[in-house]
Amino acid sequence: MTLTLVPESSASVGARFRFLGPNKGEECKGCPFQKLCFGLAPGHDYQVTAVRGVSHPCGLHDGGKAHVIEVAETSFASSLETRHLRGTAAAWAPVACGRPACPSYGLCHPVGAKAGARHAIETNEGPLPCPAGFDLVKVRLRVM
């Protein structure tokens, strides 16, 4: 079980979010709850599994309160070159196509994914059309 703090708008079971990293602004300096807030892995996706009936004062979040929640890491949608599907894990790399107008661009460049990091392949959702000619499949990945 992993605990963290979120604003009220995110404190509902099933809500998903990506932790982009700790806030380095003035709002968090000297806060006694920093360790709880910043205890997640940057770039990883999480889902709220339980909301605890506790809140703490917070200079960053709406209403001046942050709510205690339990989270579990989740997978994210991405593209992956077919040649990487040999096993249950793959080193992820963005597709070097240079076509940001492509409808699949968001899957080929998911926010927070790090090139070279190993990812568990949770599901293979089938072929992904690629106007640049790459042999891609849509997958759900979890950072290992």
Domain boundary among 37, 53, 74: 74
Query: Which range of residues forms the domain containing residue 84?
Result: 76-143
Q: What is the predicted pLDDT for the residue at 52? A: 94
Q: What is the predicted pLDDT for the residue at 14? A: 93
Counting beta carbons within 10 angstroms of the beta carbon of residue 123, is it exposed (0 to 12), middle (13 to 18) or buried (19 or more)?
A: exposed
Number of domains making up the chain: 2
pTM of the model: 0.67
Decide: 112 and 44 in contact? Cβ < 8 Å.
yes
Q: What is the predicted pLDDT for the residue at 64? A: 86
pLDDT digits (tens, 9 = 90+) for 75-115: 888 888 887 776 678 788 888 888 889 998 989 988 767 78
Q: What is the predicted pLDDT for the residue at 86? A: 66
Low-confidence ranges of the chain (pLDDT < 50): none
Query: Residue 143 corresponds to which tokens in the numbers above?
Result: 């950072």
- Reference 112, options 49, 61, 43; nearest CA is 43
CA distance 138 to 108: 9
CA distance 58 to 65: 5
Same domain, 83 and 38: no
Same domain, 86 and 131: yes
Same domain, 102 and 134: yes
Look up tokens 């960053």; give the residue: 60
